[in-house]
Amino acid sequence: MKSKFVFIGFSLLITSNIAFGDVKLNGPLGEKLDLMIENHVVARDVDYITAPFLTKTERQRRWQTEFWGKWMHSAVPYYTYTRSEKLKKSIDRGIDRILSSQEPSGYIGNYPDELRCGEGWDVWGMKYTIMGLLHYYDGEVGSGNGERALSAAKKLCDYVIAELGPNARRKRQLWQTGNWSGMASSSILEPVVWLYKRTNDKKYLDFASYIVKGMTEPASGPRLLDLALNGVSVADRSSSKHNGSYVMKHNRLKAYEMMSCYQGLLEYAVITDRKDLIEAAVKTAEDIIKEEINLAGGCASSEAWFHGASKQYLPYARLQETCVTTTWMRFCQKLLEVTGESKWADQIERTFSNAYLGALRLDGGEFTAYTPLTGSRWHGMHHSFMHTDCCTANGPRGFICYLNELFKLKDNVAVINFYSSAFVKGELSSGKEVAFDIYTLYPRKNYVRIMSHTQGVGVVPLKLRIPAWSTKTTVKLNGKALNDVKPGSYFTLAHEWKWGDIVEIVFDMPVIAHTIGRNVAFTRGPILLARDSRFNDGDLTEPFRKGIRNGQVMNSFTAIRTPFDTMAMAFSATLPIGSHHENPEAELPTTVFFCDYASAGNTWTRDNYYRTWFPIELWPED
């Protein structure tokens, strides 16, 4: 069987014969996924989020029309995963309502004609509507509307071309609409490229090229190519600074929109062989890792770049918007597929395990808008005069990113990027199937067991991602230790698989100290650790004593039984905490408790407070 386009995660690069239902999560993470699907995606009121398309009364240039398209990105693949009839009915009803709202001109949205394709979020909304229609078309949910959805997507894109393309009716260029130096509107590039891939109609590729020109050439536009290639940090790409206002016309600091543009540029670069665009995307992502990503894998304050990595111990406002978190994962996913480098999977894992899961409510029904590194978790916002928000709409897309990359088949090579209890399978080009059963309590435990459910397919290489943080990883095949396992790379095990073959992996997961100035935080493997007020173990602001070094292995941390069912993992640690250490009793270390960041504050109550960064005492010479 030939390789095909796969709709999961919607990278739409040539990939392998893996369907969304071919990866089934088990264990605690599988339970989280099941809750999120049932209580969030299935429970979504599709009439409510499609109503704005039917009324077209938006005069304050808001973004009500993004919610349905984002929901479709999760609803269609999760239907494939669950085969929920309730979800299928919601998907089909939503499609019927969206199709019925399309005007003869092709427009689908909620702005009156005089306000369309200008200031505000109209083009941004049309971007997500095209995405939603194409998600449905790719997913083949089964109502018979697939071709109608594709036709509607084409008509809507044709409308955008007529209004904002070369010599267009609106007499303005696409990048001159919307906000953030045109980045919000320019991010429509991604679904325009998807549309070209499905139709092979050159007018969509030509329009994509026109959008790319606007994203890269005008001096007052997004400038996503030259600024990246010249090494300008994402937080330094704007002549004006963030002024606390959510919407800014001329500014390039908005994290979500910028990364959304680079996702489209990567899609375009692959089909046009624009290596300079790939280089710009890679350099931008590497700068984000260096300058912006914190220990929880999150980034951005008030949704803007701000050199946040070096400031993560400070109480910046609106940290780690879930939209930014999810988009960072999707950006890394595209980079992983384009470059094949394991470092992008390392980034997805860290973000998913901390910032992403930390934003998800225990019952799976909601994502918080922001997740501070110190503070408490709380409900999200109400956007555009609706009882929903962008983060609640975006949240489920992050789990899709994780599932899409957990197990891959590429050129008849099996790849495992993430370690969670799951049953995975895929089809080789010969038509034969490979399958593996993964059992683990990772990342709580450092042990992974992979059993082959494959036989009679010949030699199939299995690539295992070895995280950069695990300096001494052991891999065994049927009890025999294997050599040349290196951190930050893939370990390839070429083997003729038989039923019952067992691969065992043991990761090196010590607790490591991280210091910035006179502040300290701790990680274990990919997990950021936090103190939580539920432990009732003293003042969380009490300083540490001088002497902890950056990168120091903290041998005093011990995994313990979690005192609450709502905590995934817990540790005791005997540490040099506290003032008054001239006193013989007070100079002794103190035993306190930590949990994983995703569990910290997860009761979503005001009295549940947590902390990840801790002050280190100062002396007169400091």
Predicted pLDDT at 10: 35
Residues 30, 41: Cα–Cα separation, whole Å: 15
Q: What is the pLDDT of residue 391?
A: 87
Nearest Cα residue to 615 out of 534, 538, 516: 516
Region 245-254: mean pLDDT is 81
Model pLDDT, residue 142: 61
Q: What is the pLDDT of residues 290-301, one digit of tens each?
A: 999 999 999 999
Of residues 383, 237, 367, 235, the one with CA closest to residue 309 = 235
Whether 15 shows a pLDDT value over 60: the answer reads: no
pLDDT of residue 1: 27
pLDDT at 9: 35
Q: Which of 305, 359, 372, 312 lies closest to 521, judged by CA? A: 312
Confidence of residue 569 (pLDDT cuts 50, 70, 90): very high
Yes or no: say if 43 and 365 are a contact pair by the CB < 8 Å rule. Answer: yes
Phi then psi for 575, rounded to 5 degrees?
-135, 155
What is the torsional sign of CA 264, 266, 267, 269?
Answer: positive
Which candidate, 280, 405, 271, 279, places its Cα nearest to that of 337?
A: 405
58-97 per-position pLDDT tens digit: 888 888 899 999 999 999 999 999 999 999 999 999 999 9
Question: Span 400-422, mean pLDDT?
Answer: 96
Kindly report, residue by residue over 109-136, the tens digit of the pLDDT.
999 999 999 989 999 999 999 999 999 9
Say yes or no to pLDDT of 420 above 90.
yes
Mean pLDDT, rounded, for 584-600: 95
Q: pTM for the full model?
A: 0.95
* Mean pLDDT of all residues belonging to the chain: 93
The C-alpha atoms of residue 424 and residue 61 are separated, in whole angstroms, by 45
Task: Please report the pLDDT score of residue 8 as a whole number.
Answer: 34
Least confident among 229-243, 310-324, 447-461, 569-583:
229-243
Interval 559-571 mean pLDDT: 96
DSSP 8-class letter at 463: E
Contact (Cβ atoms closer than 8 angstroms) between residue 466 and residue 484? no
Residue 139 has pLDDT above 70, yes or no: yes
Q: Which of 229, 209, 226 is nearest to 218 (CA)?
A: 226
Give just the sign of the alpha carbon dihedral 126, 380, 370, 28: negative
Q: What is the pLDDT of residue 241?
A: 72
Tell me the pLDDT band of 3, cut-offs 50, 70 and 90.
Answer: very low
Q: Each residue of 215-236: pLDDT tens digit?
A: 999 999 999 999 999 999 999 9
How far apart (Å, rounded) are the C-alpha atoms in residues 465 and 56? 49
Q: What's the pLDDT tens digit per position in 143-196?
A: 667 899 999 999 999 999 999 999 888 889 999 999 899 999 999 999 999 999
* Average pLDDT, integer, range 359-381: 94
Between 267 and 119, where is the model more confident?
267
pLDDT bracket for residue 2 (50, 70, 90): very low
